[in-house]
């Protein structure tokens, strides 16, 4: 019989340093084989064969492989269905335990339950750990034990829970001798999985303290480099949330609050999983009489609404997979309230396009804009694109970058007049919400 090994399963934690599940796998003291699965349950549904997220993951795994090769170890990367992959691994190795980190998304829960059952039948343990947040699930609750649904008191309680151990690192390096020594296992190419590189550069993992220190002042201006663009690295775990939060906490409470918003939305998804399955957090908002005009939706997607700040955001998204956070709020409000198109249409489009797509944050942001979420903008708050431009892009730096023709005759007229759209929105929302009151 072969000597037993442990397996560490990478998912949203694509790094070798300060990784909770990996630390516990190595600390157990027997050889550890790291694996990653390009999950066909996810990849087979992707229509874009140049999906930048798949390329980003591939890039991150190549980096992990290079680090492991330097110490004579390897990662095994698969393209398949997780339960089938673990069946194959169990035939190849004598597996004692599988270690991984928590993932609160609905599909992830279903997948992990299926894999845990498959492993249990073979006498293999399945252990998961908190890694992608500082506080998760039920760790930050009201005094009566119920979950918060308003951010500000949640953030206060979150901060009151902080202590020296909150940011403590998991020193994987102290146990790296326990990685399984094995011939390097080649990573499947993008092409072999039906994808191809898009040829775009990814945002760096690094940032300057100056950006963090000035974040509160500069973060709302899309024409200037006032944000870190770390979203994709947090999404796929190429940086440690503990290291990041520990570093920025003394520099900017505003930036720390952004990290807390991320955890707030993950907490909401955990306690109210229906929001991740297409349901409004506030049930009354299920009855909004959306217009859902497909032609207008297409113009919004393409960045041809005739509102330059909206079009700039959509064009930036389509070209780069990124959109400035202030502009995300403007374009989301425009879709839901100016065009009366169901927020779920916009949520799905962002899910397809955003390099840093995260189900909890994306859903939380869209429901905030539509007024249907917890702690959401009230339904009568309707962003005026012109005023938003005057306030946050008054020199038109951002607009000129993405909509250079906005002053030409070829640029389309506004898809809808603001005051008309505002009145129509208030009537549509009011007809339902006043009846529910």
The catalytic residue positions are 258, 261, 290, 325, 343, 366
In whole angstroms, give the CA distance from residue 356 to residue 81.
23
In whole angstroms, give the CA distance from residue 76 to residue 65.
9
Kind and range of the H or E run holding 399: helix 397-402
According to DSSP H, which parts of 7-96 are helical? 20-27, 40-43, 52-69, 82-92
Which of 13, 172, 175, 28 lies closest to 96 in space, CA to CA?
A: 28
Residue 150, class by beta-carbon neighbours within 10 Å (0-12 exposed, 13-18 middle, 19+ buried)?
A: exposed
**Which position has the token pair 């929302």?**
429
In whole angstroms, give the CA distance from residue 342 to residue 347.
9
**Structural tokens at position 29:** 């003291």
Which residues make Cβ contacts (< 8 Å) with residue 320, sequence separation at least 6? 200, 355
In whole angstroms, give the CA distance from residue 320 to residue 317.
5
In whole angstroms, give the CA distance from residue 50 to residue 169.
35
Backbone angles phi, psi at 127, to 5 degrees: -125, 130
In whole angstroms, give the CA distance from residue 394 to residue 279.
37
- Letter string b/e over residues 345-354, b meaning 16 or more CB atoms within 10 A of that residue's CB: bbbebbeebb
- Yes or no: say if 43 and 192 are a contact pair by the CB < 8 Å rule: no
Number of CB atoms found within 10 A of residue 46's CB: 14
Kind and range of the H or E run holding 38: strand 32-39
Tell whether the torsion through CA atoms of 249, 142, 381 and 285 is positive or negative. positive
In whole angstroms, give the CA distance from residue 118 to residue 283.
37
CA 123 to chain CA centroid, nearest Å: 34
In whole angstroms, give the CA distance from residue 147 to residue 270.
10
Q: Is 73 strand, coil or helix?
A: strand
């Amino acid at each position: 019989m072969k000597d037993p090994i442990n397996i560490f399963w990478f998912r949203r934690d694509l790094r070798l340093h300060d990784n909770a599940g990996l630390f516990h796998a190595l600390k157990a003291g027997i050889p550890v084989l790291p694996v990653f699965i390009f999950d066909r349950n996810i990849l087979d549904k992707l229509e874009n064969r140049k999906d930048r997220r798949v390329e980003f993951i591939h890039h991150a795994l190549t980096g992990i492989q290079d680090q492991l090769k330097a110490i004579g170890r390897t990662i095994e990367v698969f393209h398949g269905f997780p339960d089938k992959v673990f069946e194959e691994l169990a035939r190849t190795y004598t597996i004692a335990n599988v270690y991984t980190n928590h993932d609160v998304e609905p599909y992830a829960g279903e997948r992990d339950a299926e894999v845990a059952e498959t492993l249990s039948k073979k006498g293999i343990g399945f252990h998961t750990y908190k890694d992608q947040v500082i506080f998760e699930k039920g760790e930050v609750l009201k005094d009566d034990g119920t979950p918060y649904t308003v951010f500000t008191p949640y953030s206060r309680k979150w901060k009151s829970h902080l202590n020296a151990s909150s940011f403590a690192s998991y020193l994987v390096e102290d146990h790296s001798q326990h990685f399984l020594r094995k011939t390097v296992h080649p990573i499947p190419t993008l092409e072999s999985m039906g994808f191809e590189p898009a040829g775009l550069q990814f945002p760096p993992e690094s940032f300057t303290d100056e950006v963090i220190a000035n974040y509160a002042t500069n973060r709302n201006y899309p024409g200037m480099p006032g944000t870190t663009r770390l979203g994709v690295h947090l999404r796929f775990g190429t940086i440690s949330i503990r290291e990041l939060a520990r570093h920025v906490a003394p520099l900017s409470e505003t930036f720390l609050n952004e990290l807390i918003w991320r955890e707030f939305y993950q907490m909401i998804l955990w306690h109210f999983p229906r929001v991740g399955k297409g349901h409004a957090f506030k049930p009354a908002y299920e009855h909004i009489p959306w217009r859902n005009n497909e032609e207008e939706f297409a113009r919004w997607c393409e960045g041809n609404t005739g509102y330059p700040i909206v079009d700039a955001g959509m064009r930036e998204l389509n070209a780069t997979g990124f959109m400035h956070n202030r502009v995300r709020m403007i374009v989301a409000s425009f879709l839901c309230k100016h065009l009366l198109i169901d927020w779920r249409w916009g949520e799905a489009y962002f899910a397809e396009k955003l390099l840093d797509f995260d189900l909890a944050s994306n859903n939380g942001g869209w429901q905030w804009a539509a007024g249907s979420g917890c702690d959401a903008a009230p339904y009568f708050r309707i962003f005026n694109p012109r005023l938003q431009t005057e306030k946050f892009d008054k020199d038109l730096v951002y607009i000129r970058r993405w909509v250079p023709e906005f002053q030409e005759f070829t640029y389309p007229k506004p898809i809808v007049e603001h005051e008309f759209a505002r009145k129509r929105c208030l009537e549509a929302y009011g007809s339902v919400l006043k009846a529910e009151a």
